[in-house]
Structures are given as C-alpha cells and as structure tokens.
C-alpha cells in the first residue's frame, strides 16, 4: 500500500512535518568511518575467504547487503565489511563464468553426441546426490545406509544410461527401418562403428573437460586467495562494477561503525550470537527507588542517564590505565588506582546501542497517543531523502531515549570483549608470546529504566562463536606452492568437480535471476510506502560463525568475561543507589541469588537463574 501523495508535499498539508524532519536530522545521522584499517584483521580475511569457499555464504552476503539497498546493516565488531562485499562480488563473477562455461560445453556436446551427455550424467548424478546429503548431521550408521542407497541409485542410473547408449549406438533407424521413409536403408557397420567412436571420443573429452574446468577454477581461486588474503595483507579499496553499487557499499562500510540496529525478525541483538544458544544468559532486577536507606532519610532522584554513565565509567576502568572521573578525564589522584597493562581487559569496548524494529511506519499520524491530528510523518530512524536508515545517534538522542523507556526505540549499553588479544611479556618487558586475535566475541547488553519510582535493570549476555574452521584454509595457502595448490584443489573439490555438470546450469540460472531481480529492486522507493521493512536480517560475522564453541577453553573464557562484567555492573548500580540514600537490600538479595545460582554445568550451560520476581524458560533465562 502506497501513499496517496508524494512525501515531498507532506509539509504543505501538515506544517509541523518539515520542522520535525529537521529536528530528526540533528538527532539521527549517517555514520562516517574516519579511515580504513591499515591491514585486514584475521576475521576479515576469513570472511573474505568464505565468499570463495562457501557459495551459500557468498549468495546471502550479496542478497542481504548489496542487492537490498535500503536495508540496515548490523554494526561490525572485529572485522571490516567492505572487503567482504568486494570479494563476494568477485567470487560471484568467477562462479558465474565457471557455470556458464560448463553449461555451454554441455549444450555443445548434446548437439554432437547426446549419448556422451547421457553417460556423463549417469556417472555424475550419484555424486550430485551425495553432495546434497548433510553428512555431518548423521552418525556412522545412518551414513552407511545412505551410502548404500546412493550406490543402488548409481547402479540404476548406470543401467538406464547404458541401455540408452546401446540403443543410440545401434541406431534407432535400423531398429525401426520398416516405418522409415521409402528407399531408406539401415545403417551400415561402418556407420555403427563411427557412431560408437564419436560417442567414445565425446564422452572422454566431456569427462576430461568436466574435471579440468572445476579443478582449474579452484586452483585459480586458491592462487588469488594466496595473494590477496595472505596474513598482513593491506585493506583493499572497494572493488565493484558500477558506481551505484560503489555508493551503496560505501554506505554500508560507514554504517558498520554506527550504533543503531534496525532488526527484522525477533532478535534485537543481531550480530551478537543466537539468543537460544546454551551460552545466552539474561536476568532482570527490580528495586524501589522511593524507599530510603535510613528511616529518617529522603531518597534522591535517580537520573537513568547519570546511572548509565556511572556504570560505563566503572566498566571502562577494567581496561583503562586510570579510571575515568565524572568529567571524562583520567583520575590520577591515587596511584593505587592505576591498572597495570597485563591486568587490563584487551578488546573491551563500550558504546550506547540503539535498537528498533525494522518494520517502520511512515504514513502521517498523530505524534501524541490519542491525538486527532496527523502532525507527524515518516520515521525518526529513516532518512526520507535517501530512503535508507540512519546509523548513528547523537548524545542528546541517546539521553532522550534512555529517559523515555516506554518508547518504540530503546537504548542499551553494549559491552563487547574479543577481537583484540594481549601480548605476553616477562618482567623485563621482553615478548614471550605475541598478541593474537580472540576467536570469540562476548556481547553484553545493559538496559536501565526508571519508571514509577522503580528501577528495572536488565542484563543480556551472548557469545558469538569463532569463525568456521574451514574458512581458516586461507592461512595455509600462503605457504603452498603451485603444485601443492593443485593437490589441495583436488582434495578440497573432488566431490564438487564430479557433480558440477549437474548443478552448473541451475546455479547459472539462479545467479542470473538474482542479478535481474536486484536490478528491478534498485529503483524502488521504500519511503513512498505506508510501512516498509528496513531491518537487517543477518550479520556477516554471525553467518560465518561455528554452530558451537569448539574448545572448552572458549566456553570458560565466555563465562569469565560475562561474569566479570556482571559483577562490575552489580557493584556500580549498588554504589550509585547508595550514594542517593536508597535502600538496596532488595537489590542485594536478588543479585546474590543471581551470582550464586549462575553456575556452569554440562560443559557450558548456565544453571537456572531466579530473581524471585519472574519465571524461567527452557534455557534457564529469567522472564519477568
């Protein structure tokens, strides 16, 4: 459903709309990245390699980030989305060239010798079926049964194909010479052996080409990855085909450093991990703010913005040399407050994070509940001129959202730990072990709301598993010779090469259709709809992550950082409430229950959490 009028004319009918849009422009903006990283991080290189090694990953990145020009992007932590987009577009071009070449070869052989194509498919279809089976999900018993079923299919295809080839080689005209045209003679033995020789030659050449093309393509891709994705490679510029795609990709690169997430679906914390994972943890605490600490005392008013800032400073003290005072300057008043370098939490980042639903209402409507005059149009987080979401909020907007917890837009304090490692040094300062990027990212979202003389504190923690191990192949390519690349290509792609002739035509059609649909969607103007879903649907980092934490040490690290942040949060809130003469006994009771009952069981699952004011779901997460 579209608007009856052009959005540019709304101001003429509703005078306040122009002023509102100017005000919104000042509170929500487009993020601008200050500069590109000098070199690609390991996470960036692995995700770029995923575009070549995983066609599903490549297709989803292009479909969700490049083709959907009006969709929001999830903030990136520990990687750069620009190179991932460039390498995904390049990988799709190379895959399309490979598939079209195979398709053209099949059509050429079909016109010359249909029997050779039939023979090839009789051998390739079983391997294609084997590629469709998710072997990792089954035990060895079921794998054995599936292998037997594929073997039976292989025999059936071979028998049918052999019968077709036999009939074709003998000659249909000779078998049914009685119904042929007058004077037509059956084929001679010379023609029979000629047809048989043509079939054998075409079959051999087709089979040889069907092996050379996929393996040669894979060797070419490996050589490109060895050069362009080696450790320490500088960050490349955006490599796209058209200026329009370049402009859109640049917006995504800038938006990745923003602090706004418009989400499509049920997970507002997109990019931090699966909310139903065994490491996800959430709790909430409610405390009265009008209960004095002493009988004769008077509780002071709690400003949620000041409480957030107090919590932020206490959390940042875990990674900074000197704690930050209220004026945001280092507090060097006491030398004992200095934190040595080896005790600082490397890779700890704190920022305010704004989340909202991506399905944005845009039609003229009253700005106040129960209003009768439509004095507001558009959406505060959408740039009406460009038809794309804003990705950055100002401090004034953050403070206003924090002080209005019942609004449709929420502001969290996001704490992330990961990506950056720490150098191990001895007492003399000599390097014992260099810094290494962490494989996991721990994200904590803190929500503090003051309503009805009550404080609602919410804690949501999740873990983003490491990038899939098969994408780490790019680290081994840097030391491989050309001969080693050939052997690696054979081991890596032997099953795909034996079945590429079956899937190549369908892949080429799918890619061409995706490109055509993207061109049709390019001129869409979502700001003309009454409601439009601008929300992000996936995170590139989350798309390339493992399904679980591979090692027990990673499970322990995830637990360690979430517990450190959790305990620091409790102490910061308690200190702030006590300084305002507020009774914190109820808070201490609930916090103690959370701390005591949040134990690790079964190698990574957190035990149930009970604050006494809610119920738990099947993952032990508190629901108030």
Domain boundaries, the chain: 48-253+482-520, 287-464+554-623
Comparing 66-75, 147-156, 333-342, which segment has the lowest mean pLDDT?
147-156
pLDDT at 113 over 80: no
Residue 436: the pLDDT is: 76
Q: Which residue has the tokens 């891709």?
A: 221
Neighbours of 151 (CB within 10 A): 11
Which of 401, 411, 413 lies closest to 314 in space, CA to CA? 413
Helix (H, G, I), strand (E, B), or coil: what is residue 592? helix
Backbone angles phi, psi at 296, to 5 degrees: -95, 5
Residue 135 confidence (pLDDT): 57
Q: CB burial class (10 A; 0-12, 13-18, 19+) of residue 368?
A: exposed
- List the beta bridge partners of residue 458: 284, 447
SS3 293: coil
pLDDT at 392 over 70: yes
Q: Report the alpha-carbon distance of residue 509 to residue 532 in Å, rounded.
A: 29
For the stretch 461-520, pLDDT in tens is 999 999 999 999 999 998 888 888 988 888 888 878 888 888 888 899 999 998 888 887
pLDDT tens figures, 29-48: 888 887 777 888 889 999 99
Task: Answer whether residue 258 shows pLDDT above 50.
Answer: yes
Q: Which of 128-132, 302-306, 529-533 is predicted with the least confidence, judged by mean pLDDT?
A: 128-132
Average of per-residue pLDDT across 159-180: 53
Query: In whole angstroms, what is the distance from residue 382 CA to residue 365 CA?
Result: 16
Residue 451 vs residue 209, higher pLDDT: 451
| pLDDT grade for 191, boundaries at 50, 70 and 90 | low
- Quickly state the pLDDT bin for 190 (edges 50, 70, 90): low
CA distances from 145 to 126, 152, 480 (A): 15, 11, 38
Q: How far is it, in rounded angstroms, from Cα 418 to Cα 558?
A: 10
Statement: residue 615 has pLDDT above 70: no
- Contact (CB, 8 A) for 552 and 336: no
Q: Does the pLDDT at position 176 exceed 50? A: no
Q: Higher confidence at residue 83 or residue 27?
A: 83
User: Does pLDDT of 313 surpass 70?
Assistant: yes
Half-sphere exposure of 597 (CA within 13 A, CB side): 18
Which helix (H) or strand (E) segment holds residue 146: the answer is helix 140-170
Q: Is the pLDDT of residue 376 over 80?
A: yes
Tell whether the model's pLDDT for residue 576 goes beyond 80: yes
Tell me, what DSSP letter sits at residue 385?
A: T
Helix (H) or strand (E) holding 17: helix 16-27
Q: Which of 34-38, 536-540, 559-563 has the lowest mean pLDDT?
A: 34-38
pLDDT band at 13 (very low <50, low <70, confident <90, very high): very low
**DSSP classification of residue 408:** S
- The band of 121, judged by pLDDT with boundaries at 50, 70 and 90, is confident
- Highest mean pLDDT pick, 105-114, 250-259, 442-451: 442-451
**Is 50 exceeded by the pLDDT of residue 533?**
yes
**Distance of alpha carbon 136 from alpha carbon 364, whole angstroms:** 52
- pLDDT of amino acid 571: 93
pLDDT at position 223 is: 92
More confident position, 504 or 50: 50
Write the CA distances from 410 to 261, 354, 406, 530, 576, integer angstroms.
10, 6, 8, 23, 22
Long-range contacts of 174-181 (CB under 8 A, 24+ apart): none
pLDDT more than 90, % of the chain:
32
Cα separation of 45 and 38, whole Å?
13
How high is the pLDDT of residue 18? Answer: 31
Over residues 256-271, mean pLDDT: 90
> What is the per-residue pLDDT for 311?
95
Element (H, E) at 450: strand 441-451
Q: Say whether pLDDT at 337 is over 80.
A: yes
Cβ atoms < 10 Å from Cβ of 157: 18
591 and 570 in contact (C-beta within 8 Å)? yes
Residues 6+ apart with CB under 8 A from 182: none
Residue-wise pLDDT for 59-111, tens only, equals: 999 999 988 888 898 988 888 899 999 999 999 999 999 999 988 888 888 77
pLDDT digits (tens, 9 = 90+) for 192-227: 566 666 667 777 788 788 888 889 999 999 999 999
Closest CA relative to residue 26, chosen from 281, 541, 307, 392: 392
Q: What is the pLDDT of residue 16?
A: 29
Indicate if the pLDDT at residue 578 is higher than 90: yes
Tokens describing residue 73: 């992007």
Report how far Cα 237 is from the mean position of its chain's Cα atoms: 21
Confidence band of 58 (pLDDT split at 50, 70, 90):
very high
pLDDT at 574 over 80: yes
- Cβ-Cβ contacts under 8 Å for 102 (sequence gap 6 or more): 210, 213, 214, 500, 501, 504, 505
- Looking at 269-283, 499-513, 514-528, which range is the least confident one? 514-528
Asked whether residue 434 carries a pLDDT value surpassing 60, the answer given is: yes
Q: What is the pLDDT of residue 217?
A: 92
How does the average pLDDT of the chain come out, rounded? 80
The 10 Å Cβ neighbour count of residue 283 is: 26
């Amino acid at each position: 459903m579209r608007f009856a009028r052009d959005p540019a004319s709304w101001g003429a009918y509703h005078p306040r709309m122009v002023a509102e849009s100017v005000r919104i422009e000042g509170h929500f903006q487009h993020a601008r990245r200050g500069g590109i990283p000098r070199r690609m991080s390991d996470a960036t290189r692995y995700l770029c390699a995923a575009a070549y090694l995983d066609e599903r990953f490549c297709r989803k990145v292009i479909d969700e980030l490049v083709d959907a020009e009006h969709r929001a992007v999830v903030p990136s932590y520990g990687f750069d989305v620009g190179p991932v987009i460039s390498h995904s577009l390049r990988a799709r071009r190379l895959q399309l060239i490979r598939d079209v070449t195979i398709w053209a070869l099949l059509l050429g052989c079909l016109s010359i010798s249909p029997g050779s194509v039939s023979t090839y498919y009789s051998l390739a279809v079983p391997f294609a079926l084997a590629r469709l089976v998710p072997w990792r999900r089954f035990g060895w018993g079921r794998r054995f049964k599936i292998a037997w079923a594929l073997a039976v299919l292989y025999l059936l295809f071979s028998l049918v194909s052999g019968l077709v080839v036999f009939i074709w080689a003998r000659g249909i005209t000779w078998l049914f010479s009685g119904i042929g045209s007058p004077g037509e003679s059956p084929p001679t033995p010379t023609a029979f052996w000629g047809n048989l020789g043509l079939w054998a030659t075409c079959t051999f050449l087709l089979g040889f080409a069907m092996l050379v093309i996929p393996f040669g393509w894979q060797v070419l891709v490996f050589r490109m990855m060895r050069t362009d994705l080696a450790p320490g490679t500088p960050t490349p510029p955006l490599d796209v085909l058209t200026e329009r795609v370049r402009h859109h990709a640049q917006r995504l690169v800038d938006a990745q450093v923003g602090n706004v997430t418009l989400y499509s679906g049920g997970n507002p914390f997109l990019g931090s991990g699966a909310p139903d994972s065994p490491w996800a943890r959430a709790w909430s605490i409610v405390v009265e703010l009008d209960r004095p600490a002493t009988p004769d005392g008077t509780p002071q008013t709690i400003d949620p913005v000041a409480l957030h800032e107090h919590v932020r400073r206490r959390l940042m003290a875990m990674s900074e040399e000197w704690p930050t005072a209220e004026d945001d300057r280092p507090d060097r008043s006491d030398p004992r407050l200095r934190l040595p370098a080896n005790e600082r939490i490397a890779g700890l980042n704190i920022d305010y994070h704004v989340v909202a639903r991506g399905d944005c209402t845009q039609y003229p409507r009253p700005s106040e509940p129960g209003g009768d005059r439509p004095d507001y149009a558009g959406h505060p987080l959408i740039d009406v001129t460009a038809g794309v979401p804003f990705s950055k909020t100002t401090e004034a907007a953050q403070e206003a959202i924090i002080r209005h917890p019942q609004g449709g837009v929420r502001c969290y304090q996001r704490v992330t730990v990961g990506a950056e490692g720490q150098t191990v040094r001895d007492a003399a300062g000599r390097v014992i072990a260099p810094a290494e990027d962490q494989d996991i990212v721990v994200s904590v979202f803190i929500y503090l709301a003051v309503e009805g003389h009550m404080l609602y504190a919410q804690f949501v923690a999740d873990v983003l598993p490491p990038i899939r191990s098969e994408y780490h192949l790019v680290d081994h390519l840097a030391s491989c010779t050309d001969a080693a690349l050939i052997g690696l290509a054979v081991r890596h792609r032997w099953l795909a090469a034996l079945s590429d002739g079956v899937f190549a035509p369908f892949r080429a059609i799918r890619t061409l259709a995706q490109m055509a649909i993207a061109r049709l969607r390019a001129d869409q103007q979502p700001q003309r709809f009454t409601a439009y879903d601008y929300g992000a649907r996936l995170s590139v980092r989350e798309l390339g992550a493992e399904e679980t934490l591979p090692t027990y040490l990673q499970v322990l690290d995830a637990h360690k950082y979430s517990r450190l942040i959790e305990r620091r949060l409790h102490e910061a809130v308690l200190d702030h409430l006590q300084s305002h003469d507020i009774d914190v006994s109820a808070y201490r009771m609930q916090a103690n229950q959370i701390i005591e009952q949040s134990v690790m069981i079964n190698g990574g699952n957190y035990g149930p959490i009970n604050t006494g004011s809610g119920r738990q779901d099947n993952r032990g997460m508190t629901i108030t």
